[in-house]
Every structure is written in structure tokens, then in C-alpha cells.
Structure 1
């Protein structure tokens, strides 16, 4: 894995991902996630849907076509709250990337879309389809997993064991996504998760009415 992928995947990277739980906070509030077993189910579902979608677009972003990818990812993300969360995280990564990895590709991305989606800017920075997809797929589960430790007080060792056992599934999603690196943006797969969309919208509404730990 190249250095950019390792740094972006690191929770210490200043991209703002630590304030997003990927819908887990709302799932916990509704008692859908309450222990390691239910957390694993949530993570698998998120990986195979929102995670796979992000991975596909990260892989495709390694080939350019940024404006089309931005529009197509918007079209595949029906939840306004999820679209905002993706762009907020993308903007956070962009701030750090301007300092760490200035390049013509990054400049072109930010020219056509100043607030890029998270998967697209990860693809631009990592540059290799499998590794870009792997990074985004990993992000799809690590954010909620970290959130579970904070929200439920789960054993960090147990939660990290859950993550470690997801490695084959993360790699499988990344491999599928890498196969679509050269697929035209309009033909990219669109795995959906209506349940996650509903959780995101409910969390966004509750976040405006009461104090929540996570933005999403």
C-alpha cells in the first residue's frame, strides 16, 4: 500500500472523519446496534452497499473524469445528509492534501468541484485503483467501529477483532471496484442502502434538535 493510502486510512489524518459515524449513532439510538455481533452485521451491510459504492468511485477517480464522477455519485446518493457528509469529509481531506500532495490532478479536481466527494478525492490522491478502493472500503467500516467504542463502551480489542475479520470482505469489495476503474461513469454500479439513507436523514433531523456526538 502506498504512503498516501496509509496516511489517509490512519485515524490521525486530519480529514475530519472522526466526527462521522456512518449512521451508527442513529442505529445505536434505535437499539439496532448494541453489541459486537450486531455491530458486525451493521458493518457488513454498510461495507457491501455504501462502502462498495464509494470504493467503485474511488477506483474510477484514478482515471480522471472528475466532473462526471461527481455528478454520477450525487445521483447515486439519494440522501441529502449522506451527500453533505461525503462532501464535508472530501473538503477536509482537500485541506490537508493541498499541503501534503499538491499535484496537477488535485488542482484539476478542486477546479471542477471545490467540494469533492470523499471517494473521488481519495482516488485522486492514492492514484492506484485497488488501493484507492481498499482505502475507501476500509473507511466505510472503521468510522462506525470507532463510533461503537465511544457510543456503547464496547471493548476496543473486541471491536478491532471484528474489523480484522472483515479483511477478506474489504479486499473483495476493493477488487470488484478495481475491475470498474475504466467503466464509464454513467455505467458504474450503484449498490444502494435505503436503510442507511433513512438513518442518515433521521440523524440529521435529530442533530438539529438535540446534541449528538457525531455529525453523521
Structure 2
């Protein structure tokens, strides 16, 4: 396992397109549910244990060698919001552009041909982790970490929060990130043995609702 590859894949400077997305934080700020570092921590904790767990399990399952097309269908079934499905596939396309150059191989052309609209981002992330020689647990860690860092980085811009205090939220959630990644990796092992139907389907209905609302805004700072 390459620790450097894990750092590269999880680095916010990796050109995966995530900087243009807030993970639902922009809508939460507009609704005054996200106002400061305390509410940011609660928002990120909730996101991590719901949609973050689902993304981490999908990524780990892809790194386990599960069929990516079955995983892509599983991601669709676990993403009820059309706006969030579009966002996930858009991020998947952007991530695919980056990983096919970073870790080249025939898999990426095959995936692009099979999913012309773009595969879901967690599936591409897990395949990238596997191509980089990482473990399913590494893939889960990267996805869980990403589910928290996106909103944190967005809120620094949206609210003008102190970036030191905002990133302290990520540190405060470190144990939760590890716990979610461990759970996701166990789910992935079961999916590899019993099928993708066993993957978690934790829901965050408010994120789904606000994503649909956010998609209709004529003026917004973030794409999602």
C-alpha cells in the first residue's frame, strides 16, 4: 500500500472538481441551519454518518473488486435526489479525467464507455484506490474524509469562518471518520461475498430536499 497515493487521492488540490461543490452546506447556510463552527460540526457529523457512510461503502466495495456497474446502480438506488445523482456523476466524470492520467489503464476507457453520462463519484474513487494499490479501507477513509472536508472548505468561503477553527472541525471528527471508514469496509467485504444489495442505505432526507431547492437557484456560489 502506498501512503503517498492515499494522500494524493485525498488531497484537496487533486483535480477532482470537489472545490466547486459544498456538499449541501450552501443551502444549509441560506436556511440559517449552519451559522458557526458548532453548527458546522453537527452538519458534518450528520452528513458523515449518512451519505458519507454510503459513499465510503461504495468506494470500499469498488476497491474490493465488486462489479462497478452493479455498484453504479446501487449508488443510483441510494441517491433519491435527481440533483444529487447529477452532481455525483459530474464529480465522477471529473475524477475519472484525473485518475486516468495519474494511474493510466484500460479500465478507465471501459468505464467511460459503460457509463457515458459519468459513473458515480464514490465508484470511481474506489476504482482509483484499487488502481493505486490501496486497500478497501483506504478507499473508505478517503470517501469519509471527503464527505466532511467539502462542507468545511465551502463554509470558510460562505460565512468567512476562521479557517483554523473550521479545520479544527475536521480534527474533532477524526474518530468518527475512522469509525465510518471501518464500518464501510466491513460492509464492502460483505457485499463482495453476498452482493451489493447488502450495502448500507443510510438516508439524509433534508440534504435531498435542499439539494433540489439549491439546484433551482439562479445565483449560487457552489454547483451543489
Same fold judged by TM-score > 0.5? yes
What is the alpha-carbon distance in structure 2 between the residues aligned to residue 105 and residue 199 of structure 1? Answer: 35
Q: Offset at 1:107?
A: 3.7
Aligned to 1:45: 46
Conserved 8 A contact 2:187-2:198: no
Aligned to 2:12: 11
Aligned to 2:32: 31
What is the alpha-carbon distance in structure 2 between the residues aligned to residue 48 and residue 106 of structure 1? Answer: 30
Q: Offset at 1:116?
A: 1.1
Aligned to 2:73: 71
**1:45-194 → structure 2 map (5 Å cutoff):** 45-62=46-63, 63-114=65-116, 115-127=118-130, 128-182=135-189, 183=191, 184-194=195-205
Q: Offset at 1:180?
A: 1.8
What is the alpha-carbon distance in structure 2 between the residues aligned to residue 4 and residue 66 of structure 1? Answer: 21
What is the alpha-carbon distance in structure 1 between the residues aligned to residue 145 and residue 176 of structure 2? Answer: 10
Report the RMSD for the aligned CA atoms in angstroms: 1.2
**What is the aligned counterpart of 1:213 among 213, 218, 221?**
221
Residues 7-47 of structure 1: CA deviation (Å, up to 9, x unaligned):
12111111110000001000000100000000000000000
Q: Offset at 1:3?
A: 3.1
Off by >4 Å, runs of 4+ in structure 1: none
Gaps of 5+ in 2: none
What is the alpha-carbon distance in structure 1 between the residues aligned to residue 66 and residue 113 of structure 2? Answer: 13
What is the alpha-carbon distance in structure 1 between the residues aligned to residue 124 and residue 3 of structure 2? Answer: 16
Gaps of 5+ in 1: none
Tell whether 2:207 aligns with 1:196.
Answer: yes
Residues 84-108 of structure 1: CA deviation (Å, up to 9, x unaligned):
1111111101111121111244344
Residues 31-85 of structure 1: CA deviation (Å, up to 9, x unaligned):
0000000000000000000100100100001113011111111011000111111
Length-normalised TM-score, structure 1:
0.95
